Amino acid sequence: MLGANDGILSTASLILGVAAAGAGEAGILVAGAAGLVAGAMSMAAGEYVSVSSQADTEEADLARERHELATDAEHEQAELAAIYVGRGLDSALARQVALQLMAHDALGAHARDELGISEPHRARPVQAALASAASFALGAVLPLLVALLAPAEALAVSVVGTSLLFLGLLGWLAAHAGGAGAALGALRVCFWGALAMGVTYGIGKLFGAAV
């Protein structure tokens, strides 16, 4: 949702700014396409670096845990049992659970219950980068298609209207999925989207007048 919102808003704003500066249809479409590619690559690079750092931290934590298990298994068992006591088990049962889990997969048990690292939620930099790039591109292509299909005299109105519609829909869906007020979520994203597009359009007008 966030990537698609960014794609819609940044590309729509770029198209409006370039159009306000007096660029022709070809220039507007080139700018929009360049914004789509640049934004998707930027999102992918940023997400890859961020999630890679998280993956490095996870690997360092797991390496430390392996060393502790190899050098002081009894302490690690007591540590795991203490975690289960904190979750509501009595001491005897907690020790038994810790013993059995460590016999089955000591590192996995400590990774999951001590470090909060589980296989389905491991940091995956490439997957995160591709997902971010795809979501941004999916959002960005919407105002770009509108700019391609809309009549030149109605381009700005068409891009603004459809972009706010798309943003409002995504804001509604995101808020609804999170259990928050859907109408407020849609209104909030539309307000900031309109502000961003208005500022960019104004800058394009000023730049076009200066040139």
Domain ranges in the chain are: 2-42+127-210, 55-121
Provide the 3-class DSSP secondary structure of residue 151: coil
Tell me if 127 sits within 8 A of 44, measured CB to CB: no
Which tens digits make up the pLDDT trace of 23-66? Answer: 888 899 999 999 999 999 999 999 999 989 988 888 898 898 88
What single DSSP character describes residue 7?
A: H
Which tens digits make up the pLDDT trace of 64-121? Answer: 888 988 888 888 888 888 888 888 888 889 888 888 888 888 888 888 887 887 776 7
Nearest to 156 by CA among 55, 17, 10: 17
* Nearby residues of 175 by Cβ (< 8 Å), 6 or more positions away: 181, 182, 184, 185, 186
| pLDDT recorded at residue 25 | 87
Which tens digits make up the pLDDT trace of 114-163? Answer: 788 777 677 788 988 999 999 999 999 999 999 999 888 889 899 999 99
